[in-house]
Structure 1
Amino acid sequence: MGLANDFKKGIFFSALGKYSNVVIQLIVNAVLSRILTPEDYGIVAVVNVFLIFFQMLVDFGIGPAIIQNKTLDKNDIKNIFAFSIYLAIFLGILFMFLGYPISIFYQDDVYIPISIILGICVVFYALLVVPQSILLREKKFSSVNMITVLANLLSGLISIVLAFAGFKYYSLIIGNIVKAFVMFLVFFLQSKVKLQFKTGKESLMKIYSFSKNQFAFNFINYFSRNLDKMLIGRFMSPSAVAYYDKAYQVSLYPNQTLTNVITPVIQPIMSEYETDKQRIKNVYLKITLVLGIIGVPLSVFLFFSASEVILFLFGNQWGNSVMTFQILSVSVWVQMISSSTGSIYQSANRTDLLLLSGVLSAITNITSIFIGVYFGRIEYVAIMIVISFGINFLMNNYLLMYRLFESSYAEYFKVLIKPFVIGAIQLIGFLLLPYLHYSVFINLFIKCGLFVILFIIGILVTGQIKLFKGIISKQ
């Protein structure tokens, strides 16, 4: 019962935190999207691509390595934290100067002052890695999630106030800095990690073999996940980036509300069973079943409700995001299931396979993005991204089922039969739904109602009603 209880406790607090954060983000985005212009969002979307890159650099694979390695003592933690301080200062200063090459690449000097300000944000994101990982290692999921909720709430409120005051895109940037600072400060106080400036090579070597593969995967995955926005911003326009980014971000909401509730608790709990491959495989297949049952029908719903979702959330000025979101919605279920695989590799201490999956995914993603950008429309980029996600899904599960678990596709895809049956019921229902002539809100309300009814019918037909009484049962 220990494993089951750990999962249920972790998922409960993770869900509480994630759902709170998503509600906050939806409200803040709904307000800001009606104050700021697509051009404002486009400028921030461009610089966020580089901010995400530096957030990946500041982690350096240290976070997952701290969670996985149970031999680290307090002295090791202090040494690793000292290293992260020097890394934070170096990367923060580096980011401040990054605005100059960015401004040359995008032919706009606006990125110079933005990068200088966001250098502060990079420092705080680097400093919070170790304290946050300590709390996750100790399975303090409630603390981590509540702190994140608090940071997002303060960040959102400040961004809205600044947007009303006419700060334009700076309202988003300053809000991000506030979020990073609050998270670092509270994580640091909660974790009680000791501050020192002397680091130790021995401590770093304890996590090197794990963190090097994790870092390499993050590095490769970054480019395969963000090259689309970089190239759209360079060869199309800031507005095109904004429309694409808005659609892409909404397509990630199911991950934020559903998948990301489960995945943060997988490695902290399953790292204790890294040699028990059968147990890890059983957990992965159960997670796949749960995410598939939710994700496949949700993809169908979002495809048929794309216009209502975008216009309801952000207003009529974001109509150019609708078709892109409709295309990306096809891959929602794939993204949901795939997002859990990284934690499975980590739990089995196979970051070498994680790295290999990242390399293969990067090849398909980058190739697809270049093809989409070549055709000159964000819709073509979205189509190619969906194709790439599908290919990566097959390759990733080959590595898991054949290389890690020594099983087969047959065992894996057998789990997806019932989710596809539920998805087929949704598809038939929405195809039979007549054209609705009401307001955006009424149309969305009707389609949401139909989705719920068809979903209930689906889980009854497939006999999966008991699944939602206990996601993870006794192993």
Structure 2
Amino acid sequence: MKNNEIPLKQKTIKGFLWGGIANGIQQVFALLFGIVLGRILMPEDMGIVGILTIFSAVSAAFMESGFVSALIIKKNITQDDYNAVHWLCIAIGATLYLLLFFAAPLIADFYEIPILATAARVSFLNFFISSFGIAHSAYLNRNLLLRERALSTTAAVFISGICGVTTAFYGLGYWSLIIQNLTYCIVTSSGFFYYSGFRPTLHFNFKPIQSMFRYSSKLLLTNVFINVNNNFLTSILGKFFPTAIVGQFNQANKWNLMGQTFILSINNSLIQPLMTEISQNDGSRQVRVFRKLLSFVSFITFPLMFGLSFVSNEFIIILIGQKWLVAADYLRIVAFGGAFAVASNVFANYNLSQGRSTIYMWNIICFGLLQIALFFLLKSYSIIYLLYAYTGLQIIWLNTWYYICRHKLQYHYYFLFKDVYLFAVTATLSLFITNLWASHIDHIYLRFVAKAAGLVSIYLFLLFITKSDILSEVISFLKEKISKKEKNTK
């Protein structure tokens, strides 16, 4: 038994390592290409692509239909299972593309933007192209071929970024973003096919789908609402606000999501094994492990996301220019709410680790419906008020996740205050203290550095004088690593 477990453990650790490295490299590429494209393109270009995003995202969720997860957890898997999912995904992708192809003029009429019709017909090819790589993606995940997956996605980010920047430089405007997305899908699907051991055949047998459908249908509904939640505002703004405003919000939300992804990528290697440990231990052990995880996530999240909110003006102007100044106002609000979304993610993962996928699904659906309701209640006001309301909803929803988990986890509200809100309050206090002196600096680059460095320094100092447990553990961990390194060099 042990001999079989060692290769699996090594493969898992290697996979996490490759996943972490690839994610970091991809974040750097996304940052660099985002800066260049932001300086070349106009807000209207971002707005046009942003409006169409929800159609592609929801179609991709329907097309995948939860079958990737179903293939990964299936005990005895065969060629027929992969083959059935492969051809079904392509069939669904083709059907959805044809429907949206003919609906494109209606979409353009709804938004009263004639150029959307042609843009939509080309842009929607991305999810159809992706359908050819879904079964191969499942194969890579199931067999822990995360290095191969990482190579494919990293190459796709780099090549698509080069294509996007080149076409933008030659004046193609919003088409450069569409070309970038299509290139990413082509390279990713090709890479998955190349590294996957599965090869599709023309033997059509859809019987395996029946056994997977019950599990996958629940994931389908959840994934659809996750994509609606992430893209609804960007899309619906195009109906009631100018395209330039949509572009400004899309730009702000892109940096917000990039910040969240960066934090989650740091914690993913920690979250997954700890969540497994939580599900296998007694109640008191569960609470201790969960609290340590949540405290660590909060310790990183609040200074980084509140910091992004704090320096949003300088950050946007320095990186992508004065024309995106409105996006800085939006980023200041959405990054603040994004911090609470990251904390909520820990509770959501706990629910999934306990097999409570139905509760998770309804929570996602309710959050999406409330977002939609808030928009229609506040759409006649400024978008700023709408974003404040969405941020308030993020904070409330963290408490909703707590309420759902509290009994099963035996997690008291005092713990939530200590593990989350105490870090939020400390980061906020650090922000206000830093602002007292840093805001008076005239030079924008110096002000940016002073704000960022001041906030982090004061934040760590406040945690140090209040004897924060998580800070003590981080310091001890770093000291241990340094001493080990010194011993090895000797």
What TM-score does the superposition give when structure 2 sets the normalisation length? 0.86
State the secondary structure of the residue aligned to 1:374.
Answer: coil
1:112 to 108, 112, 117: 117
What is aligned with 1:444? 448
What is aligned with 1:457? 461
What is aligned with 1:322? 328
Q: Distance in 2 between matches of 1:70 and 1:229?
A: 40
How far has the Cα of 1:172 moved from its partner? Answer: 0.8
State the secondary structure of the residue aligned to 2:124.
Answer: helix
Q: Distance in 1 between matches of 2:356 and 2:307?
A: 36
Bigger relative contact order, structure 1 or 2, given CA contacts below 8 A and separation 6+? 1
How far has the Cα of 1:115 moved from its partner? Answer: 1.9
State the secondary structure of the residue aligned to 2:75.
Answer: coil
- Shift in alpha-carbon separation, 1:435–1:407, aligned structure 2, 3 A: closer
Q: Distance in 1 between matches of 2:88 and 2:279?
A: 27
What is aligned with 1:466? 473
1:159 to 132, 156, 164: 164
2:311 to 282, 305, 314: 305
State the secondary structure of the residue aligned to 1:16.
Answer: helix
How far has the Cα of 1:185 moved from its partner? Answer: 0.7
Q: Distance in 2 between matches of 1:68 and 1:345?
A: 17
How far has the Cα of 1:261 moved from its partner? Answer: 4.3
How far has the Cα of 1:34 moved from its partner? Answer: 1.5
**Pair 1:53 & 2:54 matched:** no
What is aligned with 2:400? 395
What is aligned with 1:347? 353
State the secondary structure of the residue aligned to 1:128.
Answer: helix
CA contact (8 A) 2:278 2:290 kept: no
What is aligned with 1:98? 103
What is aligned with 1:43? 48
> What residue identity is the alignment partner of 2:473?
K
**Deviation per residue, 1:191-236 (Å, 9 max, x gap):** 2212024444442233222211111112223333322222211011
2:341 to 324, 330, 335: 335
- Shift in alpha-carbon separation, 1:454–1:361, aligned structure 2, 3 A: same
Shifted more, 143-152 versus 67-76: the winner is 67-76
How far has the Cα of 1:136 moved from its partner? Answer: 2.0
State the secondary structure of the residue aligned to 1:331.
Answer: helix
How far has the Cα of 1:177 moved from its partner? Answer: 0.5
Shifted more, 289-298 versus 138-147: the winner is 138-147
Q: Distance in 2 between matches of 1:95 and 1:127?
A: 18
Q: Distance in 2 between matches of 1:64 and 1:437?
A: 52
State the secondary structure of the residue aligned to 1:436.
Answer: coil
CA contact (8 A) 1:357 1:399 kept: no
- Shift in alpha-carbon separation, 1:219–1:151, aligned structure 2, 3 A: same
CA contact (8 A) 1:17 1:145 kept: yes
The higher radius of gyration belongs to 2
Q: Distance in 2 between matches of 1:431 and 1:123?
A: 49
- Shift in alpha-carbon separation, 1:163–1:362, aligned structure 2, 3 A: same
How far has the Cα of 1:294 moved from its partner? Answer: 0.9
**Deviation per residue, 1:351-408 (Å, 9 max, x gap):** 2111111122123222222233221x22122111101112222212322333x54654
1:251 to 256, 263, 279: 256
CA contact (8 A) 1:128 1:188 kept: yes
What is aligned with 2:154? 149
**Pair 1:416 & 2:416 matched:** no
> What residue identity is the alignment partner of 1:28?
F
How far has the Cα of 1:434 moved from its partner? Answer: 4.0
How far has the Cα of 1:302 moved from its partner? Answer: 2.4
Q: Distance in 2 between matches of 1:431 and 1:263?
A: 32
- Shift in alpha-carbon separation, 1:148–1:459, aligned structure 2, 3 A: farther
Q: Distance in 2 between matches of 1:432 and 1:248?
A: 27
**Pair 1:25 & 2:44 matched:** no
Aligned residue-pair number? 469
What TM-score does the superposition give when structure 1 sets the normalisation length? 0.89
How far has the Cα of 1:187 moved from its partner? Answer: 0.8
2:94 to 70, 85, 89: 89
**Deviation per residue, 1:135-187 (Å, 9 max, x gap):** 22223333222321110110110111111112111111011111001100111
Shifted more, 5-14 versus 444-453: the winner is 5-14
**Pair 1:371 & 2:383 matched:** no
How far has the Cα of 1:271 moved from its partner? Answer: 7.1
Q: Distance in 2 between matches of 1:71 and 1:413?
A: 45
Unmatched runs of 5 consecutive residues or more in structure 1: none
Q: Distance in 2 between matches of 1:4 and 1:301?
A: 37
How far has the Cα of 1:316 moved from its partner? Answer: 0.4
1:361 to 367, 381, 385: 367
CA contact (8 A) 2:278 2:289 kept: no
State the secondary structure of the residue aligned to 1:124.
Answer: helix
How far has the Cα of 1:237 moved from its partner? Answer: 0.8
How far has the Cα of 1:312 moved from its partner? Answer: 1.7
CA contact (8 A) 1:46 1:241 kept: yes
**Deviation per residue, 1:397-438 (Å, 9 max, x gap):** 322333x54654444444336534642552353243342333
> What residue identity is the alignment partner of 2:88?
F
Shifted more, 67-76 versus 142-151: the winner is 67-76
> What residue identity is the alignment partner of 1:145?
A
**Pair 1:287 & 2:287 matched:** no
What is aligned with 2:481? none
What is aligned with 1:178? 183
CA contact (8 A) 1:124 1:184 kept: yes
State the secondary structure of the residue aligned to 1:250.
Answer: helix
Q: Distance in 2 between matches of 1:57 and 1:265?
A: 30
CA contact (8 A) 1:266 1:347 kept: no
> What residue identity is the alignment partner of 1:154?
I
